[in-house]
Amino acid sequence: MPGFTLSARFAARFRSRIIASIAFLSALVFVMPLGGCSLPGGSQASSASSSSLKTVTFMLDWAPDTNHVGVYVAKHQGLYEAAGISVDVLATSQAGADQAVDAGSADFALSTLNNVAVADSKGAQNKMVLDVQQKPSAVWCALASNTSITRPRDLDGKIFASFGSSEDDAVIRRMIQTDGGTGTFDKVMVGTSTFETMTSGQADFGGFYDTWEGVESRLDGPALTCFWEHDYGVPGNGQQIGIITNQSLIDSDPDTVRAFVQATKQGYEWAYAHPDDAAQILVDEAADANIDINLAKASMKEIVDDQYWGDPDAMANGSFTLGSLDYEAGQEWLDFQNEAGAYEDADGNALTTAPQARDLANDTFLK
């Protein structure tokens, strides 16, 4: 099945590969509230915050985009204050948001169910408590000018711009094999940008998120040829993008976890119902990120039009709650990846039993 053509200039930030790619941000050794340094989009604690509010921290997984918009909306609309909390947005740490949450350096962060599985397999106790994205948005792309690649089996023998993730390898191998290829390819490590790695000729293809980089591509060019993993035999959804915390915080302060989750959910619900206004809030609240308002609005439009956060009608009639985990789709992905040997324990041994989605998430705070 041939791919479709996108156009774009990428700031390649494929989140589930953040741990490997973030090394170049060596200045961010210390976790601190953003306001004048490092990655843009964070915020200092407001000097006007009431002393009665409990301060919690939320760590970005990279620079702000529409996956974070519910947090910015909740801050802007006063939803956190109404819930009795004040939220500081932090730059991601050098080790990554997942490690920061496990270490207690951040109370909450944006991550994926797959990242939780990787970390918890090595001994972390992170939990996803709100799933923003209900279906996969990952795409695998080559430059359209590379006419030797028109379908996944053409990736056989080509060079992948890798962030060092064995989970990526399993996905690409399955896509190639489903399309009739052998599933063999070479890899080169990405420096700071997948797109630059490809345009410089070091790699033939890479991975992106269609709801941000894909939208950016369609606005700016150049053209890419892309493939969706679920069209080529990759089961489930491990890239459920959402909010994580640590089990220790759940155990010690469940009321604060509930307050943050409930207010954040309301932020995403408002953004889903008011996409253009939410895009403007994102641009304004994360002013130092210099987000293009056209990109933010187009991204929100795609999220709403394609129902990435869920069916609005189902939300309206109460049959679906925004932020709910799709445990079945998550488990299908985890089983697939474990069969491919993607998950390892702290000693580097492959797991014999797949991580369990219901052990990696807790969405009871949504209600």
Nearest to 184 by CA among 150, 160, 151, 208: 160
Q: Is beta strand 108-112 parallel, antiparallel or unpaired with respect to 241-246?
A: antiparallel
Asked if 193 and 216 count as a contact pair (C-beta separation under 8 A), the reply is no
The string of pLDDT tens digits covering residues 282-325 is 999 999 999 999 999 999 999 999 999 999 999 999 999 999 99
Using CB atoms within 10 A of its CB, is residue 305 exposed (0-12), middle (13-18) or buried (19+)?
A: exposed
Q: Could you say which residues of the chain have pLDDT below 50? A: 1-40, 42-49
> How many angstroms separate the CA atoms of 88 and 172, rounded?
37
Q: What is the pTM of this model?
A: 0.86
Q: From its phi and psi, is residue 45 left (phi > 0), alpha (psi between -120 and 50) or beta?
A: beta
Residue 133 DSSP symbol: -
Sheet holding 138-143, edge to edge: 4-7, 223-228, 138-143, 205-209, 159-162, 186-189
The string of pLDDT tens digits covering residues 224-237 is 899 999 999 999 99
pLDDT at 93: 81
Give the chain's domains with CATH numbers.
4-15+136-232 (3.40.190.10), 31-135+239-366 (3.40.190.10)
> How many angstroms separate the CA atoms of 3 and 193, rounded?
22
CB atoms near residue 120 (< 10 Å): 20
CA angle 80, 82, 83 (to 5 degrees): 65
